[in-house]
């Protein structure tokens, strides 16, 4: 039950305050601080509320990181050394492709804003 609630809360907060989608130029908000600023402004949070919510999000982030690390360790324990190496190579490849996509998106955004 706690796990389901945690997942639901994460999904709701992530989607609710993710910021505008691509193509919105300077209004794009990717980093957590900017999203928190937007949330605080939209909901007219007091300083105390903002501080408490930031603490909740930070705690949640740490829990998710721990869960991710534990999951990775458990999966690695099941894989052979060869499979772990292959999985690592695939992960690196995905990271590189994501980096390239982000760079292309940034370049398109810069060109669009320059027009």
Confidence of residue 7 (pLDDT cuts 50, 70, 90): low
The answer, as to whether pTM is greater than 0.75, is no
Query: 58 φ, ψ to 5°?
Result: -65, -45
Q: Which of 15-19, 35-39, 68-72, 94-98 has the lowest mean pLDDT?
A: 15-19
Dump pLDDT digits (tens) for 42-86.
999 999 999 999 999 999 999 999 999 999 999 999 999 999 999
CA dist 52 → 38, 47, 55, 95, 98 (Å): 16, 9, 5, 33, 33
Angle at 104 between CA 101 and CA 109, to 5 degrees: 125
Annotate 19-40 with DSSP letters as a single string.
---TT-GGG---SHHHHHHHHH
**CB 54 within 8 Å of CB 34:** no
Q: Which residue has the tokens 């999203």?
A: 35
């Amino acid at each position: 039950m706690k796990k389901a609630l945690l997942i639901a809360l994460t999904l709701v907060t992530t989607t609710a305050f993710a910021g505008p989608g691509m193509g919105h130029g300077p209004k794009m908000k990717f980093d957590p601080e900017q999203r928190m600023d937007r949330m605080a402004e939209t909901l007219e949070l007091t300083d105390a509320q903002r501080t408490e919510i930031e603490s909740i999000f930070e705690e949640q982030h740490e829990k998710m990181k721990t869960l991710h690390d534990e999951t990775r360790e458990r999966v690695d324990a099941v894989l052979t050394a060869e499979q772990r190496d292959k999985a690592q190579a695939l992960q690196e490849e995905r990271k590189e492709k994501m980096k390239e996509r982000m760079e292309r998106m940034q370049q398109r955004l810069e060109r669009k804003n320059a027009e």
